[in-house]
Amino acid sequence: MNSKLIFVTSCLPRECGIATFANDLINAIKNQMDDSIEIEICALENGHQGFDYPKEVKYVLDATKLEQYQQIAKKINGDHQVKIVMIEHEFGLFGGEWGDYLLNMMDVIVKPVFVTFHTILPHPEKKIFQTITNIADKAEKIVVMTDSSRQILIDDYKIPGDKIKVIPHGTHIVLWKRNEKAKERFGISHRPIITNFGLLVRQKSIETAIDALPEIKERYPDVLYLVLGKTHPEIKKVEGEKYRHFLEKRVKQLGLEENVQFVNKFLDLDELLDYLSITDIYLFTTKNRDQAVSGTFIYAMGSACPIIATSIPHARELLSEDAGILVDFEQPQQIARAAIRLLKDENLRKRMGKNAFYKTRHTIWENVANQIMELFRPFIEHSNYRYRIPPINLEHIKHLTTDRGIIRFSNFDIADINSGYSLDDNARALIALSQYYGLTNKPSDLKLVNTYLDYIIYCQKSDGSFINYVDKDGSIHIRNNTANLDDTNGMAIWALGFLLSQDNFNKLMLDKAETCMQNALTNVENIHSPSAMAFTIKGLYYYNLKKHDKKITTFIIVLANRLLEYFNKVADKNWHWFEEYLTYTNALLPEAMLYAWKATGNISYHIIAKATFDFLLSKIFKDGCIKVISNEGWIHKTKESQEGFIEQPINVAYTIMAIDLFYSELGEPHYLTKLNIAFDWFLGLNHLNQIIYNPATGGCYDVLEKDGVNLNQGAESTTSYLLARMIMVKYYHVEKRKISKPLYHTEQLKNLLKSKNEKLTSV
pLDDT tens for each residue of 496-549: 999 999 999 999 999 999 999 999 999 999 999 999 999 999 999 999 999 999
pLDDT tens for each residue of 158-204: 999 999 999 999 999 887 665 556 667 777 778 999 999 988 999 99
**Residue spans of alpha helices (H) in 33-157:** 66-77, 102-108, 126-138, 147-157
Contact 7, 88 (CB under 8 A): yes
The CATH architecture annotation of domain 395-762 reads Alpha/alpha barrel (1.50)
pLDDT above 90 as % of the chain = 79
**3-166 against 395-762: fold identical:** no
Q: What is the pLDDT of residue 760?
A: 44
Of 75, 97, 91, 142, residue with least CA distance to 115: 142
Contact 143, 336 (CB under 8 A): no
Q: What is the pLDDT of residue 289?
A: 85
In angstroms, rounded to a whole number, what is the distance separating the alpha carbons of residues 541 and 539?
A: 5
Q: What is the pLDDT of residue 178?
A: 54
Q: What is the pLDDT of residue 49?
A: 84
Between the alpha carbon of residue 102 and those of residues 116, 131, 141, 232, 237, the distances in Å are 13, 9, 16, 23, 24
Is omega for the bond preceding 13 within 30 degrees of 0, making it cis? yes
Most confident listed range (134-138, 188-192, 294-298): 134-138
CATH 3.40.50.11930 fits 3-166, yes or no: yes
pLDDT above 70 as % of the chain = 95
Q: What is the pLDDT of residue 177?
A: 61
The one-character DSSP state at 459 is: T
Pairing of strands 693-694, 709-710: unpaired
Q: What is the pLDDT of residue 747?
A: 40
pLDDT tens for each residue of 540-584: 999 999 999 999 999 999 999 999 999 999 999 999 999 999 988
Q: Which residues contact 398 (CB under 8 A, 6 or more apart)?
A: 448
- Amino acid at position 329, single letter: F
Least confident of 312-326, 422-436, 663-677, 689-703: 312-326
pLDDT above 80: residue 759: no
What is the phi/psi pair of residue 528, to 5°? -130, -15
pLDDT tens for each residue of 42-101: 999 998 888 999 999 999 999 999 999 999 999 999 999 999 999 999 999 999 999 999
pLDDT tens for each residue of 11-29: 999 988 899 999 999 999 9
- The pLDDT of 227-240, averaged and rounded, is 89
Q: Which residues contact 571 (CB under 8 A, 6 or more apart)?
A: 577, 578, 763
C-alpha angle 671/672/673, rounded to 5°? 90
pLDDT tens for each residue of 437-454: 999 999 999 999 999 999
In angstroms, rounded to a whole number, what is the distance separating the alpha carbons of residues 494 and 497?
A: 5
Confidence of residue 312 (pLDDT cuts 50, 70, 90): confident
Confidence of residue 639 (pLDDT cuts 50, 70, 90): confident
CB-count exposure of residue 554 (10 Å: 0-12, 13-18, 19+): middle
Of 160, 103, 92, residue with least CA distance to 130: 103
In angstroms, rounded to a whole number, what is the distance separating the alpha carbons of residues 713 and 415?
A: 8
pLDDT tens for each residue of 708-750: 999 999 999 999 999 999 999 988 855 455 543 433 333 433 4
Q: What is the pLDDT of residue 271?
A: 86
**Residue spans of alpha helices (H) in 360-441:** 365-376, 395-400, 423-440
Q: What is the pLDDT of residue 183?
A: 67
Q: What is the pLDDT of residue 296?
A: 87
Pick the CATH number of 180-363 from 3.30.465.10, 2.40.160.150, 3.40.50.2000, 1.10.510.10: 3.40.50.2000
Q: What is the pLDDT of residue 751?
A: 45
Average per-residue pLDDT in the chain? 92
Of 360, 6, 11, residue with least CA distance to 169: 360
* Sequence ranges of the domains in the chain: 3-166, 180-363, 395-762
What DSSP assignment string belongs to 468-530?
-EE-TTSPBPGGGGTS--HHHHHHHHHHHHHHHT-SSS-HHHHHHHHHHHHHHGGGGGG---H
Q: What is the pLDDT of residue 643?
A: 73
Cβ burial 702-729 (10 Å sphere, 16+ → b, else e):
bbbeeeebbbbbbbbbbbbbbbbbbbbb
- Ordered strands of the 414-422 beta sheet: 407-411, 414-422, 469-470
Pairing of strands 414-422, 469-470: antiparallel
Q: What is the pLDDT of residue 235?
A: 87
Cα-trace Rg, the chain: 30
In angstroms, rounded to a whole number, what is the distance separating the alpha carbons of residues 537 and 556?
A: 6
Contact 671, 727 (CB under 8 A): no
Confidence of residue 320 (pLDDT cuts 50, 70, 90): confident
Q: What is the pLDDT of residue 753?
A: 42
Q: What is the pLDDT of residue 80?
A: 95
pLDDT above 50: residue 762: no
Q: What is the pLDDT of residue 270?
A: 84
In angstroms, rounded to a whole number, what is the distance separating the alpha carbons of residues 10 and 47?
A: 12
Find how far residue 375's CA is from the centre of its chain: 18
In angstroms, rounded to a whole number, what is the distance separating the alpha carbons of residues 434 and 542?
A: 13
